Amino acid sequence: MDEMDIRELDRQYVANTYARSDVLFVRGSGAQVFDDRGKRYIDLGAGIGVNVFGIADPEWRGAVVEQLSKLQHMSNLYYTEPCVRLAEELCRRTGMRKVFFGNSGAEANECAIKTARKWAFDLCGDERRSTIITLKNSFHGRTVTTLAATGQEAFHTKFGPFTPGFVHASAQDAGEVRALADRGDCCAVMMELIQGEGGVVPLEREYVDEVVSIAREQDMLVIVDEVQTGNGRTGTLYAYEQYGFTPDIVTTAKGLGGGLPLGACMMGERVENTLTFGSHGSTFGGNPIACAGALNIIRRIDDELLEGVRRKGEYVKKALSGAKGVKGVTGMGLMTGILTEKPAGEVVRAAIARGVVPLTAHEKVRLLPPLTITDEELSEAVEILKEVIGE
């Protein structure tokens, strides 16, 4: 079957929710990926920050295949080892106390939202504190509830009625968070420390400090959405470490499974016993294969790897800042946003034609390469990107 057939079949049978690029990828290795004609590309997107160790990483694959040949699924009615080991490793590395596993970022956030509301319900005996403050320009997922949580008006049409109980505050002015918290009906504030889909916009340290102290004063929970920033992406295992505070709830997904669907909601001391028997669940959540792969990934995100992420991130920032056609570079570690004079979509199209695969985020070009991309691959890709941006 040639690639025209696949494109036509896609248009005929797959829901029209994606404006796909013309490329048909068939295989890869690490940060290199090949299309059906054998053309080689350097991958600066990693499946939207998913393939943290690149494509078909031998060690990760080994862990996955080993588990696949033993037991692929049994349901959460019984004990299975991989999800337990992964939860233990995540708690050991973060200081969180308990983990609930789902299959995606949206599900991890749904769990965080349910946990915060149940925590407030247990505290007050009713739903008077069910509201959650989220930030303008945020992104928290595509379910009806996580769309409501998402602080972008563009997501709040056509699918209503949306889940009530979300209010949106400025991501720059903590005064707006304070004003909402002062109403007395809020149980939590939920934020991405770097707004990923919103254009790779890191929150200011002072802003985050203030939001955290408002939450502490008002006895509210702090939920950090690390679906995109987590699992080594920003140069620490989780980005909150660089902001110097400990959240009550951390959600993650994307990179966690190294390419298999897996989401986690990690619960700190204040909420570790909030969810009780029957209060939440997922058929596929904690799937043994996904968790066996994730355990391999998390164990290998060590100090040396993270040091490399920070160093490579600095290199990217330096190489692109002030380059022709570049108006600004934002981000942390290997999560980079580039504001270009040309429209981002045009840059991406031209880059793909030259064998480099970046992403966009709002008006920016976004880079989320595998954390293990080599220096040579990175410099080759960045040089091509610079040419394409400056043309």
Where along the sequence are the contacts to ligand PLP (CB under 6 A)?
104-106, 109, 139-141, 192, 196-197, 225, 227-228, 253-254
Toward ligand PLP, which CB reaches closer, 235 or 384? 235
d(CA 150, CA 168): 8
Identify the helix (H) or strand (E) that includes residue 53.
Answer: none
Toward ligand PLP, which CB reaches closer, 261 or 325? 261
Contacts 24+ apart (CB under 8 A), 12-20: none
Toward ligand PLP, which CB reaches closer, 146 or 218? 146
d(CA 189, CA 191): 7
Q: Is the separation of the CB atoms in 102 and 263 below 8 Å?
A: yes
CB atoms closer than 10 angstroms to residue 375: 11
Toward ligand PLP, which CB reaches closer, 109 or 115? 109
d(CA 73, CA 260): 14
**Chain center to CA of 3:** 31
Q: Which amino acid is at 194?
A: I
Toward ligand PLP, which CB reaches closer, 111 or 212? 111
Residue whose Cβ sits closest to ligand PLP: 105
d(CA 171, CA 177): 9
CB of 196 to ligand PLP, least distance (A): 4
Contacts 24+ apart (CB under 8 A), 77-85: 80/286, 80/288, 81/288, 82/286, 82/288, 82/289, 82/291, 82/292, 82/295, 83/286, 83/287, 83/288, 83/291, 85/291, 85/295
CB of 8 to ligand PLP, least distance (A): 27
Instruction: Write out the two tokens for 377.
Output: 């691959």
CB of 126 to ligand PLP, least distance (A): 29
What residues are paired with 213 via a beta bridge? none
CB of 285 to ligand PLP, least distance (A): 13
CB of 50 to ligand PLP, least distance (A): 9
CB of 283 to ligand PLP, least distance (A): 16
Toward ligand PLP, which CB reaches closer, 119 or 139? 139
CB of 149 to ligand PLP, least distance (A): 9
Toward ligand PLP, which CB reaches closer, 41 or 139? 139
Question: Is residue 92 classed exposed, middle or buried when 0-12, 13-18 and 19+ CB atoms within 10 A define those classes?
Answer: exposed
Q: What secondary structure letter does DSSP report for 91?
A: H
d(CA 226, CA 16): 28
d(CA 235, CA 305): 8
Toward ligand PLP, which CB reaches closer, 140 or 168? 140
Q: Is the separation of the CB atoms in 226 and 250 below 8 Å?
A: yes
CB of 228 to ligand PLP, least distance (A): 3
CB of 127 to ligand PLP, least distance (A): 25
Q: What secondary structure letter does DSSP report for 203?
A: P
CB of 256 to ligand PLP, least distance (A): 10
